[in-house]
Structure 1
């Protein structure tokens, strides 16, 4: 059989590496609380590079359609945005150059409250919806948006963003009961087989993403929602502090095991 050549050994190592890494995807979401200051943009870009997510979703960018060139991060060339003429709201999705992403369809809101992209990531279908819900009537807004996008939502959908809504009493320090609108939103999520990934993976942990100085309360109003069908793919979800915004970020790690097995067979 002879000894393994250096090249064969390297190829085997590379194949093994592909199997171990597989199509591992990390999605991060953060309300940045405005990006019109050049210093702030620089800090956010540095933070994104440090976190190194596959996909980065931002809310409240406050950029107008003319300003969208301002949101540039080296290594994340694919930037999709929905912006408002009045520099209010604003959402953006940045996709890393390291991944094979192909966009097939984009829906965006002229008010800059949401953007939806459908495409493939590592040949897997993905639908990503990034939402910034308004401060008033947020649960109603999110519920209505889910109804409008119902045809687009499937097992490969991940919904992220600042929903301005604590979904359970555990999601805020005041432990208030949740109101009728939030109950109705939860019912709609349930009907659509959507789950709050953080609460599903951390059923007893009260993690917070926002501090209200007016009320003196902490709450988790930023969320990552996924489908029950994909529960085994959601490997890890955590809250990450950010020092340049009044919100903290949430990071989700997704693993596509099926693809890993395919890669392994090719490498055998």
Structure 2
């Protein structure tokens, strides 16, 4: 009986240690298509609170560098953003107050199309890259960005965002073949040991994130990529 109690106690301690070392992290990503309207900001803030993620990545906020206060959501005080002066594009990362996050390095571009933060989350290293690829030449842009950030990308890297690119024929209702640029992007992802997490978990489920009213087609152009490990 004493031995059994001891084992239960040991298991409890191990479980507790696991919770401390590797707490659950949830990351959500959304192209908000402009946040200059107060009603829209209110809706997005409500959505973030409802989802209650660890990290929230937003694309196309269309906010200028001095508009940081417009991204404030109660419970997510850490806000990092990349903007351009024309109030186009712009990406932002919000980190929950519930986690112990320390930023060590931030990289971003003047066009507001990506932001990379390296830091620690509960003492574990994490690199997070939030991308909003342009509407034209998106696969080329993403591939070039991966090459530029190659030194920063490791086992603890998560890449999220609106890549404006379906990575497989299954990511489009039209089921058209993927072009040369997308093939090259996939090759680059493979070389860097990066995988499309959704497609890995759901190899046969379509699941779309965008509807084009001009073409009447659905596609999955928003992705979360992680290391194979």
TM-score by length of 1: 0.78
Alignment partner, residue 156 of structure 2: 156
Alignment partner, residue 76 of structure 2: 76
Task: State the Cα distance separating 1:142 from its structure 2 match.
Answer: 0.2
* Mean Cα deviation higher: 172-181 or 61-70: 61-70
Unmatched tracts of structure 1, length 5 or more: 227-268
Deviation sequence 1:185-230 (CA, Å, 0-9, x none): 001001111000000010000010000000000000000000xxxx
CA distance in structure 2 between the partners assigned to 1:142 and 1:153 by the alignment: 14
Task: State the Cα distance separating 1:11 from its structure 2 match.
Answer: 15
Task: State the Cα distance separating 1:134 from its structure 2 match.
Answer: 0.3
Task: Describe the shift of the 1:10–1:66 C-alpha distance in structure 2 as closer, same or farther (beyond 3 A).
Answer: farther
Task: State the Cα distance separating 1:10 from its structure 2 match.
Answer: 17
Task: State the Cα distance separating 1:160 from its structure 2 match.
Answer: 0.2
Task: Describe the shift of the 1:223–1:2 C-alpha distance in structure 2 as closer, same or farther (beyond 3 A).
Answer: closer
Task: Describe the shift of the 1:37–1:4 C-alpha distance in structure 2 as closer, same or farther (beyond 3 A).
Answer: farther
Q: Where does structure 1 differ by over 3 angstroms across 4 or more consecutive aligned residues?
A: 1-22
Alignment partner, residue 114 of structure 2: 114
TM-score by length of 2: 0.91
Task: Describe the shift of the 1:215–1:86 C-alpha distance in structure 2 as closer, same or farther (beyond 3 A).
Answer: same
Task: Describe the shift of the 1:218–1:125 C-alpha distance in structure 2 as closer, same or farther (beyond 3 A).
Answer: same
Contact 2:59–2:89 (Cα < 8 Å) also in 1: yes
Contact 2:21–2:122 (Cα < 8 Å) also in 1: no
Task: State the Cα distance separating 1:19 from its structure 2 match.
Answer: 3.8
Deviation sequence 1:77-108 (CA, Å, 0-9, x none): 00000011101000000000000100000001
CA distance in structure 2 between the partners assigned to 1:72 and 1:84 by the alignment: 19
Unmatched tracts of structure 2, length 5 or more: none
